[in-house]
Structure 1
């Protein structure tokens, strides 16, 4: 059953991307949830542009709407109204199957708790997105995965299970996995929240390096010190974006 679903996704056609000045362009996005207690508006007419190669930190208190904003960008959720364009594709108008294919090719996601499959080796975890999206020749995938593990500095851990790695090493593997299909956009949701301060700094340095290589990085964080090391800070408050500040790049 799963094989039939995956086979079907491989034949899903995506709309031709338009030429885009911004890697991410959000226009007049509202998001309202209907609950048993009534309606709750998480985003209120949000506008945001992120240029290709930017490293942007998204900050805000719990419940401010920052996670909802990220979910709009990754296609995990849909706006009630407004438009979301990522890498020239209208994410807000894609079908569910189109979103699954588009996300696999376009967005790499890094989670706070790594989300590595415990029964697969580090190498196999990084190869998994390649298998799902049928990226690279099957025999070439191990080599590509090893290149990514080398990029994040854990190639020597390739044949170990995730449980045998430290938290920092597991997060580096998670970053390598997020890069498996060479997506233009990397979204990290509290990627340092489960790490000590020294390891968190290493992860931020890696994001800065990736941005320098042309990747667009969006990072949700509650750590203002780490956010200040990004290229730009976007503060979300009560479902709206306040005036965005600049990181110090240091």
Structure 2
């Protein structure tokens, strides 16, 4: 049954991406939730552009709207109004099946709690997105997964289960998995929240290196010191972008 469902996803057609000046572009994005207490506006006309190869930190207090903003960009949630473009694709127009395929090929997501499957080896965890999206030849996938694990410095852990790795090592594996299908965009939601300061610094250094190689990085964080090491800080307050500051620069 699962095989048939995955096979159906593989046959989903995606719209042809348009040439895009920005890797991520949000145009007048609103998001309103209807609750028992009435309507709640989580996003209030967000405009945002992120260039290819930028490393952007998204900061803000709990409830400010930063997680909702990220959910718009990854296609996890849909805007009430406005447009969301990622790598030239109008994400706001995609069907649920199209979003599943598009996300698997276009966006790598890194979670705070790693989200590695405990019964699969490290290598198998990294191969999983390739299997899901039918990317790369089946015989090529293990070699590619090993190269990605080597990139993040944990190739020697390839045949272990995640439980046998430290938190920092598991997060590196999660980053390798997010790169499995060579997505242009990497989104990290509090990726250092469960790591010590030394390991968190290593993760940020890796993000900076990936951005230098052309990956676009969006990182949600509560840590202002780590955010300051990104290329640009976007501050979300009460559903609006208040600051879009360059590293070491003044507010935009």
Same topology, TM > 0.5: yes
Using the size of structure 1 for normalisation, the TM-score is 0.99
Is the Cα–Cα contact under 8 Å of residues 230 and 248 in structure 1 kept in the other structure?
no
Residue 248 of structure 1: CA displacement? Answer: 3.8
User: Given the alignment of the two structures, is residue 227 of structure 1 paired with residue 235 of structure 2, yes or no?
Assistant: no
User: Given the alignment of the two structures, is residue 164 of structure 1 paired with residue 164 of structure 2, yes or no?
Assistant: yes
* Secondary structure in structure 1 of the residue aligned to 2:41: strand
Q: Give CA-to-partner distance per residue, 1:111-135, whole Å, 9 cap, x none.
A: 0000000000000000000000001
Unaligned runs of 5+ in 1: none
Q: Which residue of 1 aligns with 2:123?
A: 123
Residue 243 of structure 1: CA displacement? Answer: 2.5
Q: Which residue of 1 aligns with 2:19?
A: 19
* Secondary structure in structure 1 of the residue aligned to 2:30: strand
CA distance in 2, matches of 1:163, 1:69: 32
User: Given the alignment of the two structures, is residue 241 of structure 1 paired with residue 234 of structure 2, yes or no?
Assistant: no
Residue 13 of structure 1: CA displacement? Answer: 0.3
CA separation of 1:248 and 1:161: change in aligned 2, threshold 3 A: farther
Q: CA RMSD in A?
A: 0.8
Unaligned runs of 5+ in 2: none
CA distance in 2, matches of 1:170, 1:93: 35
Q: Which residue of 2 aligns with 1:98?
A: 98
CA distance in 1, matches of 2:170, 2:243: 35
| Superposed counterparts of 1:37-56, under 5 Å | 37-56=37-56
CA distance in 2, matches of 1:66, 1:2: 33
* Count of residue pairs brought into register by the alignment: 249
Q: Give CA-to-partner distance per residue, 1:34-90, whole Å, 9 cap, x none.
A: 011111000000000000000000000000000000000000000000000000000
Residue 2 of structure 1: CA displacement? Answer: 1.4
Q: Which runs of 4+ in 1 moved over 4 A?
A: none
User: Given the alignment of the two structures, is residue 186 of structure 1 paired with residue 182 of structure 2, yes or no?
Assistant: no
CA distance in 2, matches of 1:189, 1:128: 20
CA distance in 2, matches of 1:137, 1:243: 44
